[in-house]
Amino acid sequence: MPDRRRVVVTGIGLRTPIGHSLAEMAEAFRQGRTGVRAMPEWRKIDHLRTAVAGVCEGVDETAVPRHFRRAMGRVAVLAALSATDALVDAGIGEERIASSRCGVSFGSTAGSSQAMEDYLRQIFASRSLKGLQSSVYIRFMSHTCAANLATMFQVQGPVIASCTACVAGSQGIGYGYEAIRSGRADVMIAGGAEEMHYMDAGIFDIMRATSTRYNDRPDRTPRPFDRARDGLVVGEGGGCLVLEAYEHARSRGAAIHAEIIGFGNNCDGGHITNPSAEGMAAAMRLALEDAGIGAEDVGHVHAHATATEQGDIAESLATHAVFGEGVPVSAIKGYMGHTLGACGAIESAVTILMLKEGFVVPTRNLDEPDPACAPLNHVRGACRPHRFRIGMNNNFAFGGINTSLLFARV
C-alpha cells in the first residue's frame, strides 16, 4: 500500500494493579512486585472457587468531572482516567481533539458489571422500575467506554467500540491504526478497559479456568507457561494510546513514543473457546506481512500468556512455529492478572516501554517451563537489558479471535 500513512504513538495513559504510569510499572517490574491480592469478600459467593484478583488501588474516580461520571461505571472511569493522561502526555490541544479528524477506538469485554448487577437485582427483586436512574443503561451498555470518551472529549470523528473480550484493547489500537493509515482520521484515542467484579471471575471459574490453589498465596499466581500453573487470575485496569498520523505529529512538534508498523487480526473459524495454534500463528504472520518484515526482524514477543493449560500450550506452539527459539518471549500477566478488555492496551504500552528503555520484562512466577509447551526463549528471573527495534504484542480471545501488533522505535 504505497499511499498508506505512517501511524505513531504520541500519548500513553494507564491504570493498572501495579501502577498508573509507565514509570510506576517499570519500577514494579524491576522489584518483581505483584498487584494480585486475596479477595476475602468473594467468600460470600457460594461455589466461587477462586479468591485472588488484580485490583487497581489508589484510583481517584472523582478526577472525572461529576457531570460525565454520572453516566460511567468503573470500567468507563478507568477508561476516562487513562485517556485523560494519554492526551496530556500527547500534548494535543482541545480544538484538535474536538474535531472531525479525531476519533475513538476503545474496547471492553462489556459495560459495567456492577451497574448491571444493581439494575438486575432491583428489577428481579421488586418487579419495579421505581428508583432506577435514567443513566443506568449507559453505564453497562457494551460500548460505554467508547461512547463516554467521545462525549467527554467532544470527539466528532469515527467511533469504534471493540467489545471482544481479551482482544478488545488490542483491536481498539489496531482499528485506530487502520483508521489513521487509511486517512479517515488524523488522531485516534485508542485502547481498552475492564473493571473488577466477581461475575468476571465466576465466568472463568465455571469453566474451571481460574487459579484456585494459591488463594492463600496470591503472590505466587498466575504462573504463565509454568509447570505448576493452575489457571488465570482476573484483573482490572485501563490503557490508552493516542495514535497520530506521523506527519500530523511532526507538524505540531510532538514527542513520539513508537510507531505502529503492523496489525494482524483473524479468526480461527473453529471452536468458540478452545484456542488454535494455527490461527494464532496466522495472526502473527499477518502482522509481519502488514509491516513488510520477517520474523528475524522482531526483537521481542510479548505473549498473551493466560496461565491456562490449553491457552499456554497453543500459544507456545504458535510462537515457536513463527519465531523458533531465538526471540526473547515474556508476558506481564504474572504481575497483575488477566485484565481482559484492557490487557491488549496495557501490554502494548509495556512493549513500547521496553522498546524505549532497552530492557525486557521477565515472566513472573515462571519457575519451571511446562514441558508440554513448545520450547521458547523465555525471559525469567530479573529484567534483562536488551536493545531491540521492533516488538510484537499478541492477544487472543474467545470466539477464536486473534490479534498481533508490531511496534517499532522511531
Residue 97 to residues 87, 160, 172, 401: CA-CA distances in angstroms?
Answer: 9, 16, 17, 31
Q: Is 328 exposed, middle or buried (0-12, 13-18, 19+ CB in 10 A)?
A: buried
> Maximum Cα–Cα distance for the chain, whole Å?
62
Q: Which residues are catalytic?
A: 166, 304, 338
- Sequence-separated (6 or more) residues with CB below 8 Å from residue 284: 264, 318, 319, 322, 392, 394, 404
